[in-house]
Amino acid sequence: MRNLIQSQISEMSPNQVKIARFILDSPEEAAFMTATRLAERVGVSESTVVRFAFFLGFRGYGKMREEISRTLLDTLSTLRRIDRSCTKANDGYLEKIMDLDLETLLKLRERIPKSYIESFADVVFRAKSVFIAASRSSYTLGYYFHYYLSWIRKSVTLLPEVTAYEFLENAPAGSLVIGITFPRYTRWTVDILAHSHGKGLETGAITDTMESPLVPFASHVVYVPYSPLSFIDSFTAPLCMINCLIISISMKYGDTLKERFASLENLWKLNRTYISPSPKSLDFHPWSDGKEETGKEEDARS
């Protein structure tokens, strides 16, 4: 965004230069301003702000603000994210956190068609081997995807950072490498996908926008709405998308999936992987209002 503005500033009118200077100097404010508010702050008309967005090649002011926000997400340090969230904190912070996650989930439901998910799932289903690359906070997404995907298909590998290139060197033809990263994007994940693409392996990406550095190296991409919470990378929507992908992939196996899980259940039973709840815990319901338990106690006393 900064390069785009700077490359065209010599062709701007004086009022457009005012807008450009404000965005360059105060991107954290501009990212959250309406066209009216930005116009008032800079001292120009709202129509001038809208025309400025079109001048830069955007389809409207909203698209330009989205780009400013996306760029900002990738450049904000953790400390500056904390500072931003602290200035907005009040007694309703719990509700704001939940509302932000709910809003992102609604965007996911509205923008992602079923065919979009099924197409990516089909690529995973057909792959001879699947390798997943994810680092830092996005590693939690990679681990989760790998954990459940390994239940339903063979040859799934979560790439370790130390020996990732050695794993890929021995990847069989027909392998799929999936990179997962969100702002702030991790260089290691991008490098792994670029390396895989250069080797001629099939590549996929789970990320937030078309401007993600993974996209140039991915043959198949799933875009997921994303919003950070202070210093936390909130992965509510990405996890939901991964759940959709896992279920979609599992449905492609038909009746063979039942055989797979029958074998897994025997394995878990043999290894005593899971444990049943104690009798006392069955009577404890942390989300109830206490009325049900009170009624039981009264029945017992009578």
Q: What is the pLDDT of residues 23-48, one digit of tens each?
A: 887 776 787 788 998 999 899 999 99
98 vs 35: which has the higher pLDDT: 35
Q: What is the DSSP string of 196-217?
A: HHHTT-EEEEEES-TTSTTGGG
Residues of the chain above pLDDT 70, percent: 82
Task: Supply the pLDDT for residue 217.
Answer: 94
- Whole-structure pTM value: 0.67
Do 132 and 145 meet the contact criterion of CB atoms below 8 Å apart? Answer: yes
In which residue are the tokens 């989760």 written?
A: 144
Residue (of 167, 217, 166) closest to 187 by Cα position: 217
* 116 has a pLDDT exceeding 80: yes
Neighbours of 19 (CB within 10 A): 27
C-alpha–C-alpha distance, residues 211 and 223, integer Å:
11
Tokens coding 119 = 């197409």
Look up the CATH architecture of domain 2-75.
Answer: Orthogonal Bundle (1.10)
d(CA 90, CA 28): 20
Calculate mean pLDDT across residues 245-269: 91
What confidence score (pLDDT) does residue 92 get? 67
Task: Note if the bond before 184 is cis, omega within 30 degrees.
Answer: yes
Instruction: List the chain domain ranges.
Output: 2-75, 110-263
More confident residue, 264 or 116: 264
pLDDT score for 298: 46
Predicted pLDDT of residue 233: 72
pLDDT band at 301 (very low <50, low <70, confident <90, very high): very low
Q: Can you give the pLDDT at residue 100?
A: 77
Instruction: Check: CB of residue 198 under 8 Å from CB of residue 171.
Output: no
Residue 127 DSSP one-character state: -
Q: What is the pLDDT of residue 152?
A: 92
pLDDT exceeds cutoff 90 at 210? no
User: Of the spans 25-29, 114-118, 150-154, 221-225, which averages the highest pLDDT?
Assistant: 150-154
- pLDDT on residue 299: 47
Quick: pLDDT tens for 176-204.
999 999 988 899 999 999 999 999 999 99
pLDDT above 80 (res 206):
yes
Is there a cis peptide before residue 84, judged by omega within 30 degrees of 0?
no
pLDDT at 297: 45
pLDDT of 148: 96
Asked whether the predicted pLDDT for residue 300 surpasses 80, the reply is: no
Predicted local distance difference test score (pLDDT) of residue 168: 96
Residue 183 has phi, psi (to 5 degrees) of -55, 135
- Residue 45, classed as helix, strand or coil, is coil
CATH of 110-263, one of 3.40.50.10490, 3.20.20.20, 3.40.50.12280, 1.10.260.40: 3.40.50.10490
Q: How far is residue 195's CA from residue 268's CA, in Å, rounded to a whole number?
A: 37
Q: Is the pLDDT of residue 292 over 60?
A: no
pLDDT at 79 over 80: no
pLDDT digit string, tens, across residues 129-142? 999 999 999 999 99
Cβ burial of 175 (10 Å; 0-12, 13-18, 19+) is buried
pLDDT of residue 78 exceeding 80: no
